[in-house]
């Protein structure tokens, strides 16, 4: 009889969780090399702070891996996968606050937590009003956190942990809760490795492309990390407005790409083009993109822009919104009202399943719309039987039910989050938009907000910042992992 | 149907004659006109086939809810209290759907016949005209059950007390009349004029919310306000439950106990929050805070829209909470709007079921309500209604914004109209009115009210091309 059973607790594989978290921390510590290098190169004075945080993270990681996680069994049960996900997703961003605090870039813990969670969850909401005043090393670090979080930390776990055979799939699902992932390779760990390879390749290409457009090395690194992960941190207070036309075009293109399912990109790059055009989600993505761009071009034109800048703006803006990247050229008060409305819709809809973007995800929306359509037909012909199909494959009714529940939770989170925000003195439309923008991991609120038109969240009270932090995390983990810890069944002995 | 309505308009002659305010002729004309059109239709289609088709019943229900408000505009237009058709349509729809949104910034100058007409449309509509007609005209031979599902979207088809629809409806009507009578007497005994008591009961028992005073319930004594709150509370309870309660079939109450518990719990939690918020954030005295909290929260939860104070001035989180509460609504099978307690409960339980599935993938984890598993058909129905409801609200807000209303007001108005609460946010909230809305916005709101009353699906299906195909 183990002591846990005597206490009435389920025998919990906490050692494995500690071990994996520790390993993640060690990887994270090694990734500090890049910002540290930039810091030394530009002599911004942040090198000691960065090195110190790296050492601390490394030590914590080693401790968790070698002491707390000693003798772990490589097997994850159902409920443990949620705990695992949560442990990693809370520990890493919490450790990620260290550089902000040590360099003095952000004064308060709340701000650092907000910024760090915003980074890892690829949201891109920022409390920094003037990023150019931060040391370059910290800027690169900040952008890099998004890149790490981009594909999902769990995918990283799956990729580095070939030993984990029982439960790897569950981890994968805990993060991408049921988006019917098409595997690239029958072996899960291998297909995940391929996803990472594609991700790195795209990032590298983008960095080169940006350098060719005469951006500085720091800007190129930061922007590429922010774009490919659909994060949205910027390096200047003017947003991406300082880029040349070519640079903007590059960013637009890569934002658009990062809203596409990585599996499709993989097929694209390995020259297997045959079935790409038939993928329903991709087609919907394209259709919505074209439609939204069309409407917004007309809208911009009608408020007095000439055609070419209008097209330029619209392509950039819609790509930024659909991929939930959250870069803006025009500040919100310049938008025509129609664009705000489209923006809001697109935020909720979000990017493709299996991409780095957030939101409800197109695949779910497609299934829901098909299902509701069928439902109406069934109202007229009560005895007819219909099956929803996506890409020719029937979708199980359990799965549809899950999507409905997901959407319900999603809206409930937005409504509930907005309620807490109104307690902080934010007006109702702003509160709803902020909650939606953060749960979808977009970043800046799409409405003209009452923060003087600024896109940053610096002026908000602490309660609001913590609420938004929770929303970002909830959105990134696709809600169920967050809900699970509030559910008694997950605490009970199994 | 129109005959019934004509008859109702004519009954408004009584106060007109009694108070002698010079609206006798216009009212009589509109009443007779409506009555005659109804008669004409009945005579001309006397030999029409008895429709049993589902499609026809959907069409019939929607047609009724469009035609009745149209004729309901006649008294407003003919007496000249409203000059524009859009205004009259808005007011009339708001009445028939028991929403309670008004274009009158002040109502006390209106002739008493018009006031009664407004109250009466709500009382009449609150119960669901269709149900009323089915109870009164059992001989018509239409497939009643399909009509009933069209109206109530099958939220609670486990809830019929008896196997016969007609008896069921007659019982419900009986309860409705009984409650009305009880509260008229109660208010009258508490020192109110009979005229006021009738009007106030009509609009509150139907969860409507029109008032005969500019400042709604604020005019009433505190005791009277609590009486009205009780009326609203009861109007949010399933009528079958009330019937079983009053006829001592208490064992039958068990099959809806959880919904009732949920409804009361939501009310309690919200009311406590509102009371404390009023006391701590708005410097209300304890007495006022409790009274306003108790009365206003139930008014919102049952989507009535009677106001204990000018909520427009209240702390923003309270007004936001009101919007959310009105979305929740009372119990299914009551006069309230919103999503209904039962659906919200099923939605929440379904999330729990999914978490359980994850934990025990091989176990059967049904969604249970009142200790009985809920059929998957009902769950999908709830899900679809929820989704469509959310989308309609969303589109409604966008359309209102396009018609030139600002964001806060659009959110408030769209949700207030679809749930049937009435007062929105900003200028249309509290003691304000919808007079400032553009014509387009008023029409959108009227449409949303009908959508909300018929729970979206029935209306939307008419816009699907397949519906009209043979």
Give the DSSP letter string of B207-258. T----SSTTGGGGS-HHHHHHHHHHHHHHTS-HHHHHHHHTT-GGGGGGGHH
CB atoms A372 and B319 under 8 Å: no
Q: Which two tokens mark B376?
A: 């998957």
Cα(B70)–Cα(B93) distance, integer angstroms: 8
- The 10s digit of each residue's pLDDT in A339-375 is 778 888 888 888 888 788 888 888 889 989 988 888 8
- Work out the average pLDDT over B386-410: 89
Report the chain A residue with the minimal C-alpha distance to residue B408.
Answer: A429
Whether B141 has a pLDDT exceeding 50, the answer reads no
DSSP string, B5-36: HHHHHHHTHHHHHHHT-S-HHHHHHHHHHHHH
Q: Which two tokens mark A109?
A: 């813990």
Q: Does A402 touch chain B (CB under 8 A)?
A: yes
Contact at 8 Å (CB) between A171 and A76? yes
CB atoms A419 and B390 under 8 Å: no
Q: What is the pLDDT of residue B269?
A: 94
CB atoms B408 and A428 under 8 Å: yes
Indicate the domain borders of chain B. Answer: 370-468
CA distance B177 to chain A (A): 33
CB atoms A380 and B461 under 8 Å: yes
Q: Which two tokens mark A195?
A: 């996803």
- The 10s digit of each residue's pLDDT in A165-214 is 566 666 666 565 444 455 556 667 777 778 888 889 999 999 999 999 88
Confidence bin at B230 (pLDDT 50/70/90): very high
Out of A401, A402, A489, closest to residue B356 by CB = A489
Q: Does A428 touch chain B (CB under 8 A)?
A: yes
DSSP B139: G
Contact at 8 Å (CB) between B203 and B100? yes
CB atoms A422 and B317 under 8 Å: yes
Picking from A75, A95, A79, A78, the residue whose alpha carbon sits closest to that of residue A21 is A95
CB atoms A428 and B388 under 8 Å: no
Q: What is the pLDDT of residue A195?
A: 81
For chain B, the maximum distance between any two Cα atoms, rounded to a whole number of angstroms, is: 75
Q: Does A78 touch chain B (CB under 8 A)?
A: yes
Q: What is the pLDDT of residue B185?
A: 92
- Work out the average pLDDT over A140-168: 76
ipTM passes above 0.85: yes
- Work out the average pLDDT over B462-467: 78
CA distance A425 to chain B (A): 8
Out of B394, B407, B466, closest to residue A429 by CB = B407
CB atoms B387 and A368 under 8 Å: yes
Q: What is the pLDDT of residue A184?
A: 59
Contact at 8 Å (CB) between A89 and A477? yes
* Beta-carbon contacts below 8 Å between A and B: 109
Q: Does A423 touch chain B (CB under 8 A)?
A: yes
Q: What is the pLDDT of residue A81?
A: 76
For A459-468, B50-59, B305-314, B373-382, which range has the lowest pLDDT when averaged over its residues?
B50-59
Strongest mean pLDDT among A404-408, B152-156, B311-315, B328-332: A404-408
List of chain B residues whose C-beta atoms are within 8 Å of the C-beta of residue A487: 352, 355
The pLDDT mean for chain A works out to 82
* Greater pLDDT, A129 or B179: B179
Contacts of A457 (CB under 8 A, 6+ apart): A114, A125, A126, A127, A434, A451, A464, A465, A468
Out of B55, B354, B408, closest to residue A405 by CB = B354
CB atoms A405 and B324 under 8 Å: no
Q: Does A330 touch chain B (CB under 8 A)?
A: no
Give the SS3 label for residue A389.
strand
CB atoms within 10 A of CB B47: 6
- The 10s digit of each residue's pLDDT in A230-246 is 888 888 877 777 777 88
Provide the β-strand partners of residue B368.
B373
Kind and range of the H or E run holding B369: strand B368-369
List of chain B residues whose C-beta atoms are within 8 Å of the C-beta of residue A404: 350, 380, 383, 386-387
Mutate to test the interface with A, among B270, B351, B468 (most CBs of A within 10 A): B351
Cα(A184)–Cα(A117) distance, integer angstroms: 29
- Which residues numbered 120-149 in A keep a CB inside 8 Å of some CB on B? none
Q: Which two tokens mark B146?
A: 């399909």
The pLDDT mean for chain B works out to 78
For A56-70, A174-188, A215-229, which range has the lowest pLDDT when averaged over its residues?
A174-188
- The 10s digit of each residue's pLDDT in A255-275 is 999 888 887 888 888 877 777
Cα(B76)–Cα(B30) distance, integer angstroms: 9
Q: Which two tokens mark B260?
A: 């009732």
List of chain A residues whose C-beta atoms are within 8 Å of the C-beta of residue B401: 337, 341
Cα(A442)–Cα(A123) distance, integer angstroms: 5
Cα separation of the two ends of chain A? 16
Q: Does A40 touch chain B (CB under 8 A)?
A: no
Contacts of A304 (CB under 8 A, 6+ apart): none
CB atoms B316 and A427 under 8 Å: yes
Bridge-based pairing state of the strands A393-394 and B368-369? unpaired
Cα(B271)–Cα(B215) distance, integer angstroms: 21
Q: What is the pLDDT of residue B18?
A: 47
Cα separation of the two ends of chain B? 28
Q: What is the pLDDT of residue B3?
A: 55
Q: What is the pLDDT of residue B57?
A: 66
List of chain A residues whose C-beta atoms are within 8 Å of the C-beta of residue B350: 401, 404-405, 408
Q: B270: exposed, middle or buried (C-beta count within 10 Å: 0-12, 13-18, 19+)?
A: buried
Q: Does A486 touch chain B (CB under 8 A)?
A: no
List of chain B residues whose C-beta atoms are within 8 Å of the C-beta of residue A447: 407
Q: What is the pLDDT of residue B301?
A: 92
- Work out the average pLDDT over B353-371: 79
Whether B91 has a pLDDT exceeding 80, the answer reads yes
Picking from B115, B308, B121, the residue whose alpha carbon sits closest to that of residue B228 is B308
List of chain A residues whose C-beta atoms are within 8 Å of the C-beta of residue B55: 380
Whether B374 has a pLDDT exceeding 70, the answer reads yes
- The 10s digit of each residue's pLDDT in B246-303 is 888 777 777 778 889 999 999 999 999 999 999 998 888 898 899 999 999 999 999 8
- The 10s digit of each residue's pLDDT in A445-486 is 766 544 444 567 888 889 999 999 999 999 888 888 788 877
Q: CA angle, A68 as apex, A64 and A69 as ends, to 5°?
A: 85
CB atoms B359 and A79 under 8 Å: yes
Confidence bin at B9 (pLDDT 50/70/90): low
Kind and range of the H or E run holding A393: strand A393-394
Q: What is the pLDDT of residue B446?
A: 92
Confidence bin at B74 (pLDDT 50/70/90): confident
Whether B402 has a pLDDT exceeding 80, the answer reads yes
* Greater pLDDT, A264 or A6: A264
DSSP B127: T
Q: What is the pLDDT of residue B36?
A: 63
Q: What is the pLDDT of residue A66?
A: 84
Q: Does A422 touch chain B (CB under 8 A)?
A: yes
Whether B146 has a pLDDT exceeding 70, the answer reads no
* Greater pLDDT, A412 or A398: A412
Picking from B339, B360, B341, the residue whose alpha carbon sits closest to that of residue B349 is B341
What is the dihedral angle through the alpha carbons of A208, A214, A217, A219, rounded to the nearest 10 degrees?
A: -100
Q: What is the pLDDT of residue A145?
A: 92
Q: Is the dihedral of CA A103, A106, A109, A111 positive or negative?
A: negative
Half-sphere exposure of A183 (CA within 13 A, CB side): 11
Give the SS3 label for residue B373.
strand
List of chain B residues whose C-beta atoms are within 8 Å of the C-beta of residue A382: 54
DSSP string, A427-459: -HHHHHHHHHHHHTT--S-SSPPTTTT-SS-TT
Picking from A339, A338, A313, A341, the residue whose alpha carbon sits closest to that of residue A328 is A313
For A122-131, B6-15, B135-144, which range has the lowest pLDDT when averaged over its residues?
B135-144
């Amino acid at each position: 009889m183990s002591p846990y059973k005597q206490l009435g607790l389920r025998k919990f594989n906490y050692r494995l969780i500690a071990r994996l978290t520790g390993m993640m921390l060690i990887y994270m510590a090694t990734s500090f090399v890049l910002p540290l290098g930039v810091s030394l190169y530009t002599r911004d004075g942040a090198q000691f702070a960065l090195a110190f945080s790296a050492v601390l993270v490394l030590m914590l990681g080693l401790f968790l891996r070698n002491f707390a996680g000693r003798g772990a069994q490589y097997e994850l049960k159902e409920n443990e996968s949620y705990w695992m996900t949560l442990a990693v997703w809370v520990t890493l961003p919490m450790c990620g606050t260290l550089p902000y605090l040590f360099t003095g870039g952000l004064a308060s813990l709340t701000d650092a937590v907000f910024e760090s969670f915003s980074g890892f969850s690829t949201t891109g909401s920022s409390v920094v009003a003037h990023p150019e005043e931060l040391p370059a090393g910290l800027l690169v670090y900040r952008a890099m956190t998004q890149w790490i979080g981009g594909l999902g930390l769990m995918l990283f776990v799956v990729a580095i942990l070939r030993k984990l055979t029982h439960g790897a799939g569950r981890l994968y699902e805990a993060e991408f809760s049921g988006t019917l992932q098409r595997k690239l390779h029958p072996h899960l760990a291998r297909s995940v490795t391929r996803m990472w390879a594609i991700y790195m390749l795209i990032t590298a290409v983008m960095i080169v492309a940006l350098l060719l457009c005469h951006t500085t090395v720091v800007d190129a690194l930061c922007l590429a990390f922010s774009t490919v992960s659909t994060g949205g941190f910027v390096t200047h207070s003017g947003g991406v407005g300082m880029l040349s036309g070519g640079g903007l075009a590059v960013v637009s293109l890569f934002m658009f790409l990062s809203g596409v399912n990585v599996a499709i990109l993989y097929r694209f790059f390995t020259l297997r083009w045959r079935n790409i055009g038939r993928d329903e989600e991709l087609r919907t993505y394209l259709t919505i993109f074209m439609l939204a761009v069309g409407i917004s071009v007309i809208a911009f034109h009608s408020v007095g822009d000439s055609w070419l800048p209008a097209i330029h703006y619209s392509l950039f803006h819609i790509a930024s919104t659909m991929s939930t990247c959250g870069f803006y050229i025009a500040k919100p008060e310049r938008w025509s009202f129609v664009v705000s409305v489209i923006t809001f819709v697109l935020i909720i809809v979000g990017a493709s399943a299996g991409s780095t973007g957030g939101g409800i995800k197109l695949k779910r929306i497609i299934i829901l719309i098909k299902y509701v359509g069928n439902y109406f037909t069934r109202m007229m012909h009560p005895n007819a039987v219909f099956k929803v199909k996506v890409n020719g494959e029937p979708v199980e009714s359990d799965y549809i039910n899950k999507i409905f529940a997901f959407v319900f939770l999603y809206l409930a989170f937005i409504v509930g989050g907005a309620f807490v925000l109104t307690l902080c003195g934010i007006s109702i439309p702003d509160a709803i938009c902020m909650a939606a923008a953060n749960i979808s991991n977009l970043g800046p609120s799409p409405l003209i907000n009452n923060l003087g038109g600024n896109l940053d969240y610096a002026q908000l009270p602490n309660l609001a910042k913590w609420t938004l932090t929770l929303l970002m995390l909830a959105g990134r983990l696709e809600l169920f992992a967050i809900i699970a810890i509030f559910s008694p069944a997950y605490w009970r002995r199994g | 149907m129109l005959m019934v309505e004509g008859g109702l308009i004519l009954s408004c002659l009584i106060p007109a004659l009694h108070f002698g305010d010079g609206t006798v002729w216009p009212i009589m004309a509109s009443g007779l006109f409506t009555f005659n059109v109804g008669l004409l239709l009945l005579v001309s289609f006397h030999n029409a086939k008895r429709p049993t088709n589902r499609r026809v019943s959907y069409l019939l229900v929607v047609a009724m809810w469009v035609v009745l408000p149209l004729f309901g505009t006649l008294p407003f237009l003919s007496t000249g209290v409203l000059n524009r058709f859009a205004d009259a349509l808005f007011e009339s729809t708001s009445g028939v759907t028991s929403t309670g949104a008004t274009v009158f910034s002040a109502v006390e100058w209106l002739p008493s016949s018009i006031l009664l007409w407004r109250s009466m449309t709500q009382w009449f509509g609150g119960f669901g005209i269709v149900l009323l007609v089915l109870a009164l005209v059992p001989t018509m031979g239409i497939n009643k059950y399909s009509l009933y599902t069209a109206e109530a979207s099958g939220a609670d088809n486990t809830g019929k007390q008896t196997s016969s629809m007609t008896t069921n409806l007659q019982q419900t009507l009986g309860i409705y009349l009984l409650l009305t009578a009880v509260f008229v007497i109660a208010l009258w005994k508490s020192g109110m004029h009979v005229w006021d008591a009738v009007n106030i009961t009509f609009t509150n028992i139907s969860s409507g919310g029109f008032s005969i005073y500019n400042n709604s319930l604020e005019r009433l004594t505190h005791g009277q306000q609590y009486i009205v709150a009780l009326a609203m509370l009861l109007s949010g309870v399933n009528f079958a439950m009330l019937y079983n309660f009053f006829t001592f079939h208490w064992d039958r109450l068990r099959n809806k106990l959880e919904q009732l518990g949920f409804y009361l719990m939501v009310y309690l939690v919200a009311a406590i929050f509102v009371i404390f918020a009023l006391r701590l954030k708005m410097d209300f005295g304890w007495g006022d805070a409790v009274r306003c909290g108790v009365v206003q929260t139930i008014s919102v939860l049952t989507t009535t829209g009677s106001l204990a104070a000018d909520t427009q001035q209240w702390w923003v989180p309270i007004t936001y909470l009101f919007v959310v509460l009105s979305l929740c609504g009372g119990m299914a099978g009551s006069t309230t709007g919103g999503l209904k307690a039962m659906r919200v409960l099923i939605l929440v339980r379904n999330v729990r079921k999914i978490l359980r599935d994850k934990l025990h993938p091989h176990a059967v984890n049904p969604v249970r309500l009142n200790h009985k598993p809920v059929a998957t058909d009902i769950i999908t129905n709830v899900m679809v209604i929820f989704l469509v409801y959310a989308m309609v609200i969303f589109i409604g807000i966008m359309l209102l914004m396009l018609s030139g209303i600002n964001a806060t007001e659009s959110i408030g108005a769209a949700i207030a109209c679809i749930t049937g609460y009435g007062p929105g946010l900003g200028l249309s909230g509290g003691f304000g009115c919808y007079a400032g809305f553009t014509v387009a916005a008023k029409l959108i709101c009227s449409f949303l009210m009908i959508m909300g009353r018929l729970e979206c699906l029935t209306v939307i299906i008419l816009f699907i091309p397949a519906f009209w195909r043979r």
